[in-house]
Amino acid sequence: MGAEREVYLDYSASTPVDRRVLEAMQPYFSEIYGNPSSAHRQGRLGESAIEDARRRIAAILNCRPAEIIFTSCGSESDNLALRGTAWAAWKRGKPTRLITTPVEHSAVTETVMQLGALLDIETDFVAVDGRGLVDEAAFEASCARGGAIASVIYANNELGSLNDLARLSAIARENGIVFHTDAVQAGGQLSLDVEALGVDLLSLSAHKFYGPKGVGLLYARDGVDLIGAQTGGGHEGGMRAGTHNSAFIVGMARALELAHQESEARRAHFSRLRDRLIDGVLERVPGAILTGDPVRRLPSHASFILPGLDVNALLMHLDMKGIAASSGSACKTGDPEPSAILLAAGYRREEALCGLRLSVGMATSETDIDYALAVLGEAALKLRRLKRAYA
Amino acid sequence: MTSQRKRVVVAMSGGVDSSVAAALLLEAGYDVVGMMMRLWTDEAAGGAEHNRCCTPDQMRSARAVADQLGIPFYVLDTQAVFRETVVRYFIDGHRAGDTPNPCLACNRQIRFDWLLRNALALEADYMATGHYARVSDDGVGRRQLRKGIDESKDQSYVLSVLNQGQLSRALFPIGEYTKAQARQIAARLGFDAASKKDSQDLCFLGDQDYRSFLRRHAPDLSQKGPIVTRDGEILGEHGGLSNYTIGQRKGLGVSSNQPLYVLAMNPSRQALIVGGRDELGRDELVATGVNWISEEAPAMPFRAEVKIRYQATPQRAWIEPTDNGGFRARFDAPQRDITPGQAAVVYQGELCLGGGLIAKFDEAAETRASLQRAPG
Residue B278 pLDDT level (bands cut at 50, 70, 90)? confident
- Which of the pair, A206 or B46, is modelled with greater confidence? A206
C-alpha B342/C-alpha B85 separation (Å) is: 17
Give the SS3 label for residue A266. Answer: helix
Q: What is the pLDDT of residue B43?
A: 61
**Residue B95: its pLDDT value, please?**
86
Q: Per the CB < 8 Å rule, is A313 touching B76?
A: yes
pLDDT over threshold 50, residue B48: no
Contacts of B56 in chain A (CB under 8 A): 333
Longest dimension (CA), chain B: 80
**Per-residue pLDDT at B371:** 52
- What does the pLDDT read at residue B54? 63
Distance between CA atoms of A381 and A388, rounded to whole angstroms? 11
pLDDT at A11: 97
CB contact under 8 A, B38 and A383: no
> For the purposes of burial, counting CB atoms within 10 Å of the CB of A96, is it exposed (0-12), middle (13-18) or buried (19 or more)?
buried
Q: Is B54 a known active-site residue?
A: no
**CB of B123 within 8 Å of any CB in chain A?**
yes
pLDDT at B214 over 90: no
- If you compute the radius of gyration of chain A from its CA atoms, what whole number of angstroms results? 22
**A-interface mutation test, from B38, B55, B204, most A Cβ less than 10 A away:** B38
What mean pLDDT comes out for the span B61-83? 94
Q: Do A313 and B41 touch (CB under 8 A)?
A: no
| Chain B residues within 8 A of A331 when measuring between CB atoms | 75
pLDDT higher than threshold 90 for residue B240: no
Give the pLDDT confidence score for residue B1 in this predicted structure.
Answer: 46
Residue pLDDT, tens place only, B192-205:
766 676 665 677 77
Tell me the chain A residues in contact with residue B124 when contact means C-beta distances shorter than 8 Å: none
pTM of the model: 0.90
End-to-end CA distance of chain A: 32
Max Cα–Cα distance, chain A, nearest Å: 72
Complex ipTM = 0.88
CB pairs under 8 A between A and B: 61
What is the C-alpha to C-alpha distance for residues B345 and B287, in angstroms, rounded to an integer?
A: 9
The pLDDT, as a whole number, for residue B367 is: 47
pLDDT value at residue A79? 98
Q: Do B56 and A333 touch (CB under 8 A)?
A: yes
Q: How confident is the model at residue B250 (pLDDT cuts 50, 70, 90)?
A: confident
Q: Distance between CA A268 and CA A364 in Å, rounded? A: 13
Q: Across residues B318-338, what is the average pLDDT?
A: 94
Tens-digit pLDDT profile for chain A (391 aa)? 456 799 999 999 999 999 999 999 999 999 999 999 999 999 999 999 999 999 999 999 999 999 999 999 999 999 999 999 999 999 999 999 999 999 999 999 999 999 999 999 999 999 999 999 999 999 999 999 999 999 999 999 999 999 999 999 999 999 999 999 999 999 999 999 999 999 999 999 999 999 999 999 999 999 999 999 999 998 999 999 999 999 999 999 999 999 999 999 999 999 999 999 999 999 999 999 999 999 999 999 999 999 999 999 999 999 999 999 998 766 677 888 899 999 999 999 999 999 999 999 999 999 999 999 999 999 999 999 998 887 6
* Residues B79/B85/B87/B91 CA torsion (nearest 10 deg): 160
Range of weakest confidence among A155-169, A309-323, B217-231, B294-308:
B217-231
Cα of first residue to Cα of last residue in chain B, in angstroms, is: 80
Q: Which of A297-311, A348-362, B233-247, B309-323 has the lowest mean pLDDT?
A: B233-247
Dihedrals phi, psi of B264, to nearest 5 degrees? -170, 175
Nearest chain B residue to A385, by CA? B121
Interface touch A316/B74, C-beta < 8 Å: yes
Interchain CB contact of A187 with B (< 8 Å) = no
In our burial notation (b when 16+ CB lie closer than 10 A, e otherwise), range A78-88 reads bbbbbbbbbbb
Distance CA A311, CA A209 (A): 27
Asked if A185 and A155 touch (Cβ cutoff 8 Å), the reply is yes
Q: What is the pLDDT of residue A1?
A: 47
Lateral strand order in the sheet of B31-38: B73-77, B31-38, B7-11, B126-128, B170-171
- Which of A301-310, B36-45, B63-72, B125-134 has the weakest average pLDDT? B36-45
Among the listed residues A63, A73, A143, A331, the single catalytic one is A331
